Amino acid sequence: MVTEPVKPEPECPHCGGTGWERSGQSSMRHCRCLTAGRSDRLLAEARIPRRYEHCGLDSFRPNDPSQARAKADASRFLEKYPTIDVGLLFLGPAASERPTWLSRSSSR
Ligand SMILES: [Zn+2]
């Protein structure tokens, strides 16, 4: 899946659509319009099916030891996020629910 890069708001009063705003007299920073709604945008891009919208890591009940280890790994990852410098990747058969509950949990 290819996602579009975040674009600044064309009518933004802070950056005028450039994506940069002043931060002090002689410095610039990314405009607040680039980060506004980031959580909602990430959640929408995760394309979580409606029937799983209420699901989270806390409500996930492992069905086997492999799922229990995956849940424990995800919990440790989320406790350290965003200060952790490695990613987390789960692989499984198509239609596996693992990516769904992790996506939902990590967006909170
Ligand atoms: Zn802006």
What residue ranges do the domains of the chain occupy? 1-36, 51-106
What spacing in Å lies between the alpha carbon of 41 and ligand 1's midpoint?
Answer: 16
Distances (CA, A) of 107 to 19, 35, 54, 90, 103: 24, 14, 12, 16, 6
Q: Is the peptide bond before 82 cis (omega within 30 degrees of 0)?
A: yes
Tell me the backbone φ, ψ of residue 22, rounded to 5 degrees. Answer: -65, 140
Q: What is the phi-psi region of residue 94: left when phi exceeds 0, alpha when psi lies from -120 to 50, beta otherwise?
A: beta
Identify any residues that bridge with 29 across adjacent strands, giving them in sequence order: 21
Highest mean pLDDT among 11-15, 37-41, 45-49: 11-15
Distance 28 CA to ligand 1 centre (A): 12
Q: Record the pTM.
A: 0.51
The pLDDT confidence band at residue 93, using thresholds 50, 70 and 90, is confident
